[in-house]
Amino acid sequence: MKDTVVTVVGTVTVDPEIRFTDPGTAIARFRMISTPREFDRPSGQWRDSTPVTFTCTAWRVLAENVADSLRAGMEVIVHGRIQPARPGASPEGGIELSVDSVGVSLAERIVYTQASMPPGLAAAIAQQAPPTAPAPAPSKPAPVPAPRQAVPATPPVTGWDRFRAVASAAVADPSAWHIT
């Protein structure tokens, strides 16, 4: 039996969930909805047709990338194979897709990869990166500071959070950035 391969453009409806099998294989699952447009001849207007729901499953490295990259509300392009419904799946679960490739639609947003990031923005992010080597040990013991009130620990800003912070700063004050 041959696979039915489709490419669908739609909107992610919930953040992807990732889990791992016993051997450690990553599986990410997300739902998306695609609303086809159809031409209504009597009115001469385009209108939304009945929305189609997809349950998408990605495996291995693609699953990890999907979990790290996609969020609810993003418009994506999914290429994959239609799968038979899983036993016990709800009838309103829509069409099951085994995903081979996922891309973010550029119709409504700009997406940067490590290779395509503008040099000015890449340099700004690199400047905010935490030091990679530990600081040298002081030659004499440091004085003991006075006791302070406990402050809740905040996790360090890394990865996409750091990118979002720098990008937000660039949007807030565009004159401070020279991106070529």
* Average pLDDT score over residue span 160-178: 62
Residue 180 confidence (pLDDT)? 41
Contact status, residue 9 vs residue 17, Cβ threshold 8 Å: no
pLDDT digits over 49-65, tens only? 999 999 999 999 999 99
pLDDT digits over 100-132, tens only? 999 999 988 888 777 777 777 777 776 775 555
Residue 172 confidence (pLDDT)? 65
Of all residues in the chain, the percent with pLDDT exceeding 90 is 47
Higher pLDDT among residues 158 and 56, named by residue: 56
Residue 157 confidence (pLDDT)? 52
Relative orientation angle of helices 119-127 and 159-172, to the nearest 10 degrees: 120
Place of tokens 């047709």: 49
Q: What is the mean pLDDT of the chain?
A: 79
**Whole-model pTM?**
0.63
Beta strand 52-59 with 95-104 is parallel
Residue 167 confidence (pLDDT)? 67
59 closest CA partner among 115, 105, 21, 92: 21
Contact status, residue 76 vs residue 10, Cβ threshold 8 Å: yes
Res 136 pLDDT > 80: no
Residue 30 pLDDT level (bands cut at 50, 70, 90): very high
